[in-house]
């Protein structure tokens, strides 16, 4: 029996992916340019994962991701993560990110201070760039100093980041949202 499984699913942003195993969620992927690249992103952590229909507890996570991308605020504090193989510093950054509630943001500097030194801001950004659980471990809630929309490598970049923050109520709608 395989150790890891994955599934691809449709969202308003495109076809996302999620991988899991007995230890919890292993990886999440925003839509890549094609399914092969989405699967490649997932299987970097979920080596030899087999595509399979998701069990009920994974289906709940997928349904909540789909709802979030459709404009319905969702929290993911119930999700169990498999942190095996993730560097300690990155685990610390992910833990701090998980503590940020929908509708809130923090800066890279805020997280660095919580880790003991504002000089760690760049390392925080690098750790978030390696976050294997985007969406669920909400790196979109981390902004630059003064609320600047920076450092988001998901498809759509900072536009996607702003969209998610608006859905969650961290940013107010602007003039162009009604168009």
Which positions are annotated as active-site residues? 139
SS (H, E, C) the chain: CCCEEEEEEEECCEEEEEEEECCEEEEEECCCCCHHHHHHHHHCCCCCCEECCCCHHHHHHHHHHHHHHCCCCCCCCCCCECCCCCCHHHHHHHHHHHCCCCCCCEEHHHHHHHCCCHHHHHHHHHHHHCCCCCCCCCHHHEECHHHCCCCCCCCCHHHHHHHHHHHHCCCCCCHHHHC
CA atoms of 112 and 118, how far apart (whole Å): 5
Phi-psi region of 48 (alpha: psi -120 to 50; beta: other; left: phi over 0): left
């Amino acid at each position: 029996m395989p150790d890891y499984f994955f599934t691809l699913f449709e969202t308003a942003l495109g076809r996302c992916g999620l991988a899991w195993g007995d230890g919890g969620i292993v990886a999440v992927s925003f839509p890549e340019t094609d399914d092969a690249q989405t699967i490649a992103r997932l299987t970097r952590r979920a080596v030899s994962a087999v595509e399979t229909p998701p069990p009920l507890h994974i289906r709940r996570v997928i349904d909540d991701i789909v709802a979030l991308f459709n404009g319905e605020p969702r929290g993911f504090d119930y999700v169990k993560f498999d942190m095996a193989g993730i560097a300690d510093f990155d685990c610390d950054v992910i833990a701090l990110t998980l503590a940020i509630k929908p509708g809130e943001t923090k800066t890279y500097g805020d997280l660095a201070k919580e880790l003991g030194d504002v000089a760690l801001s760049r390392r925080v950004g690098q750790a978030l760039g390696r976050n294997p659980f985007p969406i669920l471990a909400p790196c979109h809630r981390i902004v630059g100093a003064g609320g600047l929309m920076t450092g988001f490598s998901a498809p759509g970049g900072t536009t996607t980041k702003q969209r998610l923050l608006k859905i969650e109520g961290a940013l107010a709608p602007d003039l162009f949202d009604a168009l």
